[in-house]
Structure 1
Amino acid sequence: MMQLGKDPEEAAQIIGAGWFRRMTSVVIPIQKGSLVTGILLPFISGIKGLSLFVILAVPATDVLTTFSLRLVDYNYTQAANAVVLIIAGLAYAGTLLAQKLTRTNLAEGLGN
């Protein structure tokens, strides 16, 4: 956001826009691609790092990743595959939701 410069915000301030109005009408629309990238990249990294719970989980911990591995241990491979699809679906839905809310598209490249 520091790369934007102060000119657009100062122009809005000169015509009397308050801080909230400047953010919602000037800064956020210009920077929405960068903001989405700043939110989505940690989200995707967090979903990928979910397997770390497998290593750190205690027996009482019940997250989807450990649940799918427990199903594999009990030889319920189809149920384990279903749980893995749920994890992938959550990551996909989270990405789509962020894109819809911000009206951006990662297919056009990050930061556009």
Structure 2
Amino acid sequence: MPRLRARILDRIDQLEGAARAVPGPSIWNPRQVSGMTGVAPATATHVARWNPSTVLALCAGAREIVELHGYQHDCEGENGPWSVPEGRVCATLRAAARMLGVDPDQG
């Protein structure tokens, strides 16, 4: 689990870095994105929805989920800590990995 945890945190760092690298304040609405780039309306809507502030919010939530999982085989939650058997990965950590494009089964 520590390796998956580290891979997820690396991916979060990459996404945050890309979002923070967007220069200056930008207007993120589909019409402007389409007008500035010439992409199709559906593409412009998608781009506008995944603006830097949305990506940063997603990253903050994902980081919070990862932080609930210690470096050992345990997980924290409102119902208290629980153990994950050796060699297995907590289901929520696996889901967080997949959500961020990290394959939880890759070493």
TM-score range, shorter chain: 0.3 to 0.5
Larger radius of gyration: 1
Structure with the largest fraction of helix: 1
**TM-score normalised to the size of structure 1?**
0.35
Query: 1 or 2 for the larger relative contact order (CA 8 Å, sep ≥6)?
Result: 2
**TM-score normalised to the size of structure 2?**
0.36
